[in-house]
Structure formats: C-alpha cells, structure tokens
A and B are shown apart, each in its own frame.
Chain A
Amino acid sequence: MSILNQFKPEFWHNSELSTGPFRQMFNYRRIWKIAVLLISLVTLLPLIFITSIDYNFTQKSIDSENLLRTLRIGSNAKRSISFFLSERISALSFVVRTNNLQELSQPENLGIILTNLRDSFNGFVDLGVIDQNGLQINYVGPYPLEGKDYRDQEWFKEIKKKGFYISEVFLGFRNVPHLIIAAKHSLPDGSFYILRAALDTNRFNELLSDFELSGRGDAFLINHAGVIQTPTLYHSQIFEKIPYSVPTYSTHTEIREEKNKAKEDLIICSAFIPDSPYILIIVKKKDDLMKSWRETRFKLIIFLVISISVILLVILGVSTYMVNSMYLLDQRRLSTLHQVEYSNKLASIGRLAAGVAHEINNPLAIINEKAGLIKDIITYTDTGPKNSRIVELIDSVLASVERCGKITKRLLGFARHIDSAIENVQLGNIITEVLGFLHKEAEYRNIAIKINVADNIPEFQSDRGKLQQIFLNIINNAFSAMSDGGCLDIRVWREGESDVVASITDNGCGMSEGDLGKIYEPFYSTKTKTGGTGLGLSITYGLIQELGGKIHVTSRLGAGTTFTITLPLKPANPAKQDS
C-alpha cells in the first residue's frame, strides 16, 4: 500500500483544495476519473469492437472454410467411388456384349477374361455367367459356385429390370467383405445372360483412405439403411449401424453438423453414390478442425490484452500527468491569488492606518500645543500659578502626546512603504522599526530580544516595504513558536563585499524534518488551528527571491529555529524588481 501511495499523484489527496463558487470544477480526482473513463471508452471500445468483429469473422471464415473443404472432398470422393463402380460395370458390360453366351460358357475363355480384368482393373475376385433362368452356367474363381441357382434372389430380379447391379458389401463364403457387380446382355430374341463378378473391398478402402481428410476425418460407406460397409477409424464395426442419423436421399453432396454421444461437435458430409446402394459418409470432429482457429484466437486475445494494457497505461500516464499539471498550475494560481489578496489587504491596512494616523495627529497636535501653551504661560509669564506639580503634569501630557505621535508616525512610515520602491535602506533600522510593532507583545510575554547589528553594515539599495514584510513575518513566526519567557536573538553581519546577512534565532518549539521540507509551500501551516494561513513563509520566500536574496532555515524539534536571510547589497535585477 505504501508503494502504491508513492505513485499517487499530488492531486489525489488534495483533490478539492480550491476556493470560490466553482469549487466542484476543481475536483481533480473526478476530472482524472472522467478523463480516464472517456479516453478509455473512445479508444478501447473501437478496438474491442473491431477485434470482436475480426474474431467472429475469422471464426466463421475458418468454420465455413472447413465446411466447404469437407463438402469438396465429399463431392470428389463421391465421384471417385461412382467412377470406380461404373468403370467396373462398364468393363463387365463390354465383356458381356463382346462375347456371346457360348464363348462365355467356355471356362478357358472366362478364365482369360478374369485374368484380363484383374490386370486392367483391381479388385476382381471371380467371374460367373448366369443364364436367363438364373442358373450360373460358368464360373471362374476360388469357390465352387458353378451351377448355383440365383433365380429367386432379389438382385437377379432387379438386374432383369435395370440391366446392371451393384450389391451391398457382404461377407459371403470366404467370410471376407466383398461386393458383387453384374451386367446383363439382352439378345434380339428377348433372351439374356448375365456376367457377374465379385469385387474385393480392399480397393474401395484404399480409395477412401486416399482422400486427404484434415482434422482426423473419417470416410466410409454405409448402405441406405445406415449399416457400415467399409472400415471406419473411430466408429462402429463394419456391418453395424452408424451412431448418427441416416441422411435423407439427395442427388447432391450434403453437409450438416451434429453432436455425437460424447457431445462433441461433428461435421458430417454425406453423398448418395448414384446407381449403387452406398452412401458416402465423411465425419470430422469440429474440435480438431478448429485447431488452427484456436491458435489464431489465442494470438488475437494476446494481441488484445497487450493492446489494452498499453493503451490503458498510456491513458493513465497521460491523464495523470495532465491533471497533475493542471492541479499544480491551479495551486500556483491560488497561491498568487492569495498573495495578491494578502498584498491588497496589507495595502488597505496601510491606507487605513495612514487615515487613522492623520485623523489622530491633528487632535494630538492641538493637545500638544495647548499643553505646551499652558507650560509656556507658566514659564514665560507671571499670570499663571507657579506650581512645579502643574509643570510636571503638563510634561507628562506632552510625553504621552510624543509617544502617541511616535506610534502614528510609525504607522505612517509603514504605510508609506507598502508600494514597491527601491531606496537606500539600513537593515538594522528596518529590523528596529519592525520590532517597534512587537515590543509591547514582547514585554507582556516576557520575551527577551537581543539585537546585534555589526557596525560595518552599509546602507544599500533595496525595497523597504518588502524587507519590512519579510522581517515582520519571520519575527511574528518566532513569537508564535516561543512560549512566554522565550529569547529572540537577531544578528546582522556583512558577508564578503556583496552580501548582508541577518539571522533570527528563537528558542521556541522548533520544527520536525518533515515540516522543514514543506514550510515554503503555499498553504502549508503547522498553525492551522490557531488561524495560520500557510502563506506567510511562502510569501516571505517569494519576496526574498524578488530581492535577489536567499533564505535558509535550520531547526530542531523542541530546541528552536534559525532563519538566515542573505541579501545582496546591490539590487539583483532592477527589471524584475519593477515587475
């Protein structure tokens, strides 16, 4: 917390240190908060907005890209599988059309054809010729299927209508997944015969695994009932039902999103392979596909966090600097304002004093003259009573008049020098004049005042009024610091050829080191409870600066304070003085 306090700007604790009817305008903490809030809003909102748009756009774009890519792969795979099947159907059709039944009935011929088909097209396992009665009249292959009657089988009925046939995948006698394809050749007399072949599904599987499926995709075939026909990577076994819904028929490649049992988002691409019982299914886990998006998203969030942090730091720094500068300038303005008020007050007091002195001086002069005349009459004529007691009383009146006259003259002298003017001054005299106002208080409080002015102090050019204010302020402070019976020691000596130094030492309460560093700051006062404005030493400091002098203070708590004022014997800067 203390470290945090070190970074707190000056206005934070003195936010409402201002005067006048527009005080609320000078709540710097509020100004700072509004500035930080508004600048943050106008800078961060667009950034967050743009980043959010970019976030959504990029996400949708990657999402859409994944869907499109999967759709494209699905479409290509559909064409490849369709081509694979139609190529083999076409081969069978070609063979069945170019060879008559007699030729095909010869096992040697059929064997040569099977060999040729195997060489030209992968996957042919066996080959059989079936007559229009459904009887397999010739067969070449690894199984004893010759003479087998297919008359009642569904595929035989179907081929009679369609002219060709592609079966679903089944295990058959070998217990190896395979499928059969068949092509019919009709003769002009209405009779027909069929060439039937079994295809190994390995080639199918190779074909499906050749597709570049990003994101650990799985491509396989199902039949129209949703039974898996080819091996899959992650799903059920072959000939089991897929754990997803079976797509409805469509001539186009379709894509949809679905959740699996583990609640993972899936992209499922489906395509009905034309003229076959197969549906191509490509399944991709969305999570895998969005891996690149997650990396982009991480970078985007890091960018956003860094940007926001930098912007906030800059906003905080600039706002704090600006508001603190405003605060310091306002403090300086207030200080100047108070100084002007103080000077005006002094000038008003001076004019008032001069007016009062004038009004008092005239009746005093009359008292003086009348009393003097009484004494003259007693002294110079024989008409009055020759009574020494009366003369003593008159002398007492005259002495009192003289005392009053001195007071009024001192007031007039003080008032006369309020306006700034450079003239010849004797520092000792000025200090004596100032003490003239305070000697009664010193008497009442039993404060001893020692003055030691060196003999070699010359008259020098300075501003009498300012010097009076300087010494009045410092001696007043010394009086405040001392308890009754204190001792004030004033010394004036010459230092070198160019300076005169005055030190004012009291044996009062002294100041702590913390107070010492702040005593020249405006509004800093240790006497706020007893009416101190905190401006006296600030003004004194300013006045000494104006006169080209220096002020130094040493103090010890409980032991007393010494102010040392060094003044130049020649005005430092006449132009500055005039201003």
Chain B
Amino acid sequence: MHVLLVDDEKEFVNTLAERLSFRGFKVDYAIRALDALALAEKNVYDLAVLDMKMPGTNGLELKGLLEKIQKDMKFIFLTGHGSEADYVAGSSESACYLVKPVKIDALIAKMLEAVKP
C-alpha cells in the first residue's frame, strides 16, 4: 500500500513514516500541503493520512485538492485537536478521524479498513 503522510510536525511525520515502512508500507511524507500536492502529482497513493490543522491549507482543504489529483485516494484524518467542529467536519467527509497519540496498530487497522474495496 502506498501511503502519503502529511503533518506539519516533522518529528512526528518522519518517525511515523519510518515505522510504517518497517511494517511493509510504502510511505512518503510531507510537512506542507504544497509538497504533498507535488508528491501526489508524481506518485499514485492508495491512502493519505492528513493532519487536520496545518499552517496555510488545513486537512479538509488538502483532501479536496488531493481528490482532484487522485479521485480514488482514501483519507484518514489525524489531529491533536478534538474540537466539535473538527469532529463534525472530519466525520462528514466519509473519512476516519483519529486523535493523536494513536497506537500504530490502531492506525494500520484503520488504514486497511479505509482501503478495503
């Protein structure tokens, strides 16, 4: 499975990418929305794990932009914030919504569930 991780916390996203790699996932990561879009232009991803709150473009907006590039891409939202607005928005986008910190096994389970046809 080819996964795109997008989070402005570089320490978090690169570590998570490495851990997923250990588990056999092909992972790219970006810390800015523009980088993520550039990666999506170049590669095909099955799933994107997006941070809800990022400087500039937020997770929901980035999801919309990525869907324009790859309409079959699945999404999981990951955020340290748990506001009512985030929860409602995340849930309504037919995507999974997880709050940090999350166990890697739980994340992988959700990823597999998301890409299940």
Contacts and interface: CB of A to CB of B under 8 A. Distances in A.
A416 interface: yes
B15 interface: yes
A416 B101 contact: no
A406 to B, nearest CB: 10
A441 interface: no
A380 B87 CA distance: 35
A354 B80 contact: no
A358 B82 contact: yes
Given A354-B81, A361-B80, A412-B82, A376 B11 contact: no
A373 B18 contact: yes
Contacts, number: 87
A145 interface: no
A367 interface: yes
23 contacts: A354-B81, A357-B82, A359-B80, A361-B101, A362-B9, A362-B80, A364-B101, A365-B80, A365-B100, A366-B12, A368-B103, A369-B11, A369-B15, A370-B15, A372-B15, A373-B19, A376-B22, A379-B22, A402-B103, A408-B82, A409-B99, A415-B83, A415-B84
A413 interface: yes
Interface string A394-419: 00000001101100110011011101
A380 B82 contact: no
A348 to B, nearest CB: 14
A358 B15 contact: no
A126 B110 CA distance: 158
Contacts of B16: 369
Contacts of A362: 9, 12, 80, 100
Contacts of A359: 80
A416 B19 contact: no
Contacts of B79: 358, 361
A372 B19 contact: yes
Contact of B22 (A366, A380, A408): A380
B102 interface: yes
Interface string B6-41: 000101100110110010000000000000000000
Contacts of B99: 361, 405, 408-409, 412
Interface of A: 354, 357-362, 364-370, 372-373, 376, 379-381, 401-402, 404-405, 408-409, 412-413, 415-417, 419
Nearest to B81: A358
B106 to A, nearest CB: 10
A46 B34 CA distance: 89
A352 to B, nearest CB: 12
Interface string B58-79: 0000000000000000000001
Contacts of A417: 84
Contact of A366 (B9, B18, B82, B103): B9
B104 interface: yes
Nearest to B82: A412
Contacts of A402: 101, 103
B100 A405 contact: yes
B101 A373 contact: no
Given A358-B81, A358-B82, 16 more contacts: A354-B81, A354-B83, A364-B101, A365-B100, A367-B101, A368-B101, A368-B103, A370-B15, A380-B22, A408-B82, A408-B99, A412-B82, A416-B83, A416-B84, A417-B84, A419-B84
A408 B80 CA distance: 9
B31 to A, nearest CB: 13
Contact of A361 (B100, B103, B104): B100
B19 A369 contact: yes
Given A361-B101, A401-B101, A416-B87, A369 B82 contact: no
A409 B15 CA distance: 22
Interface in B82-117: 82-84, 87, 99-104
Contact of A405 (B11, B19, B22, B101): B101
A415 B101 CA distance: 18
Given A365-B102, A402-B103, A405-B101, A415 B9 contact: no
Nearest to B103: A402
Contacts of A373: 15, 18-19
Top 6 A-B pairs, shortest CB-CB distance: A412-B82, A361-B80, A365-B100, A369-B15, A368-B101, A358-B81
Given A372-B104, A416-B84, A365 B12 contact: yes
A293 B75 CA distance: 107
Contacts of A354: 81-83
Contacts of B101: 361, 364-365, 367-369, 401-402, 404-405
A557 B101 CA distance: 47
Nearest to A410: B82
A87 B23 CA distance: 159
A402 B103 CA distance: 8
Contacts of B80: 357-362, 364-365
Nearest to B17: A369
In this complex, the member of B11, B15, B22, B101 whose beta carbon has the largest number of chain A beta carbons within 10 angstroms is B101
A381 B23 CA distance: 12
Nearest to A370: B15
Contacts of A368: 100-103
Contacts of B12: 362, 365-366, 369
Contacts of B22: 376, 379-381
B85 to A, nearest CB: 9
Contacts of A357: 80-82
Nearest to A375: B19
Nearest to A409: B99
A362 B8 CA distance: 10
A373 B27 CA distance: 15
